[in-house]
Structure formats: structure tokens, C-alpha cells
Amino acid sequence: MHDSEANKILEIEDLHTYYGRSHIIQGLSMDVARLEAVSILGRNGVGKTTTLRSILGLTPARRGTIRINGDDTTRWPTHRVVRKGIGYVPAERNIFPGVSVEENLRLAAKPSADEDAWTMDKVYSHFPVLKARNRQDGSTLSGGEQQMLAIGRALMGNPIIMLLDEPSQGLAPLLVFEVIQPILLFCIQSGLTLLLVEQNHRMALKVASRHYLMGIKGKIGQTATSEELTADSEIIKKHLAV
């Protein structure tokens, strides 16, 4: 294995995924290097969420290869993929109802010997509102608080890569830029690799350094850095304009 390959946490080659008979992803190839933050930008319905679901084995690929840390995980069941070190924050957030904030976090905990490991105290230090509501039923939190809990829960698993599906969706801009964006930047600085799916390109440009611009059927129209997209707003308009 070349050094450059060894440095790739996620590699996708010629991926084809279906929902029933609908051929949603048609030949997607992309990769994410260790300690990199990458986004997939695109309109609704082009296959961004399906890409994450395919990586996780929730919507298994029919053809193609997915490698995580060098292992071919294409046919693995979801629980085995997650154990490989994947944190997932779905757009629906999927907070366990009838369970307190603290239990939501505890259920996801995966101990780590690393001195920088995510613990309950560390999550609470970054999300003090969760500490204040630690006995509250997680499903009764506001949308923004549920998003904090979903991110905190993913971090409690001490993943090597975190997949986030529309982390800013439905949230007030102030909350996105004052809470969600800083915690994601902190995650990158502390050694976590991120792959986020977004329509909010402003946040994606701040958090990720490289971007896959996805067109219909999971086709990558272009790959660009944040600098390139900032310098040429037409690229974003072309891929995200409704």
C-alpha cells in the first residue's frame, strides 16, 4: 500500500446504489484522507444522503467498493462498520425517546485510552446546555439542542471519522455559526476526520477544506477547495442554484 493510500480513511470506487428499482448513485468515486474535512455539496435529491447511508451499510451498494482504513467494508453490516470507527449524525438526529440526555450519551460511549478521548465531561464542557438538561428526555429538547446531543453522542463513540448529514438543517443561523461550526472545527483540530453533506455552503466552506460538488445520480461535477469556491461563486451557483 502506498503512503498516499495508507493516509486515506475512506475510499469509494465506482459506487452504485439503488432504492428499490431506482438507481440513485451511478458510479460515484471519492476519498477522504486522514485528518481531512471534506463536504459533499449539492441540491436536494442528488444522492448526498444515500452516499452516507451506503458507507454505513444502511442502504448497501449493489456495485463498487468502499474501503475504510484500508478494509473493504462494502458488504459489512452497519454495526460492524460503526465499530470500525464511524460516527454518524443523521439529518433526523434519531434521539432515543423516553431516555435522558445523559443516557443518550452513555449508550453511545466507547471507552478509549487516548488522553484526548471524548468523555461525558468533555462533551458537557463543549455543550453546557446538555449538562444543564442532563436529566431531561432527549426527544423533548429543541432542534438545536437535539443536534448538539446527536453530535455529542457520535463523539462519545470516539470515532476516527464522523459523517454528518445536513448538520445545519432547520437551525437558526446564529446557532449554526456560534455552536455547530465551532465544535466541528474543534473536532478537526483534535484529530477527527469529517465528511459532511450540506446545502449550507457557507458553513461547509468554513468547516471543510475540500468539496465534492454532486450533480444528479451521485455524479461528481467538480472537486474544489474552499479557496477556489470562495474565489469563484459561480461554481456554487451552478451546483446549488434551484
Q: Looking up cell 459506487, which residue turns up?
A: 15
State which residues form the domain around 80. Answer: 1-84+207-242
Q: Total domain count for the chain?
A: 1
Q: What pLDDT does 1 receive? A: 42
> Does residue 37 belong to any structural domain of this protein?
yes
pLDDT tens, 69-124?
999 999 999 999 999 999 999 999 999 899 999 999 999 999 888 888 999 999 99
Q: What is the CATH number of the domain that holds 47?
A: 3.40.50.300
Q: What is the C-alpha R_g of the chain?
A: 17
For residue 198, the cross-strand partners are 41
> Does residue 179 belong to any structural domain of this protein?
no
pLDDT at 5 over 70: no
> Does residue 219 belong to any structural domain of this protein?
yes
* Strands, sheet with 63-68, edge to edge from the N-terminal-most edge strand: 22-33, 8-19, 63-68, 71-72
> Does residue 34 belong to any structural domain of this protein?
yes
> Does residue 157 belong to any structural domain of this protein?
no
Helices (H), the chain: 3-6, 48-56, 78-83, 101-108, 120-126, 128-132, 143-156, 173-175, 181-189, 201-207, 226-231, 233-240
DSSP string, 120-146: HHHHHHH-HHHHHTTTSBGGGS-HHHH
**CA 126, CA 121: separation in Å to the nearest integer?**
9
> Pairing state of beta strands 63-68 and 8-19?
antiparallel
Q: Looking up cell 477547495, which residue turns up?
A: 225
> Does residue 165 belong to any structural domain of this protein?
no
pLDDT tens, 82-94?
999 999 999 999 9
> Does residue 187 belong to any structural domain of this protein?
no
Half-sphere exposure of 207 (CA within 13 A, CB side): 35
Contact 118, 158 (CB under 8 A): yes
> Does residue 46 belong to any structural domain of this protein?
yes
Quick check: pTM over 0.75? yes
**Residue 124, Cβ neighbours under 10 Å: how many?**
18
Closest residue by Cα to residue 188 from 205, 208, 217: 208
